Structure 1
């Protein structure tokens, strides 16, 4: 049996929500790249001017801890005019019973 418990804790879900404007994906992706976070999957849409994006990321090769990456994303919120949240994948799945 394959043990996936360790890989689950290395994944996180990032959610972005706010008014649509150029540069949101680039800014979030840049912060992740600066911390060597790999984007595994990404989904985005614009609903009547509201930008929404969800990313599944792999933190295994990151050069910073979860809290540091989360802080870096939080600093982007005001400059981009969006809300950004990051949760560990296992916590996200438990909260939303996926």
Structure 2
């Protein structure tokens, strides 16, 4: 297992599938200098899900501002976007 970093976040996106979801979310990340380290997405029937692991060490926004920007981008296109710090995510989902 990789070492945890205080600057890594887990971004989850959920909603009805439509064109442009990936573009809208990655646009925010690109504009704020967030590095996507890993990404997975799937569409089941008409439900879109995406999970990203991203490094925010060079991000131009703080965690709260980034979360708000991503949530706003998601709201514009009708999806839910959640951002959690990697350490918090792993703590919440440990066995």
TM-score (norm 1): 0.90
The aligned counterpart of 1:45 is: 42
Q: Does 1:54 align with 2:51?
A: yes
Q: Which has the larger radius of gyration?
A: 1
Q: 2-side partners of 1:23 and 1:57: how far apart? A: 20
Equivalent residue in structure 1 for 2:68, among 67, 71, 76: 71
Higher helix share: 1
Unaligned segments of structure 1, at least 5 residues = none
What is the CA-CA distance between 1:79 and the residue it aligns to? 1.2
Secondary structure in structure 1 of the residue aligned to 2:5: helix
Q: 2-side partners of 1:38 and 1:19: how far apart? A: 26
Unaligned segments of structure 2, at least 5 residues = none
What is the CA-CA distance between 1:78 and the residue it aligns to? 2.1
Q: 1-side partners of 2:50 and 2:74: how far apart? A: 14
Task: List per-residue Cα deviations over 1:35-64 (Å, max 9, x = no partner).
Answer: 100000000000111000000000011111
Q: Does 1:10 align with 2:15?
A: no
What is the CA-CA distance between 1:77 and the residue it aligns to? 2.5
TM-score (norm 2): 0.93
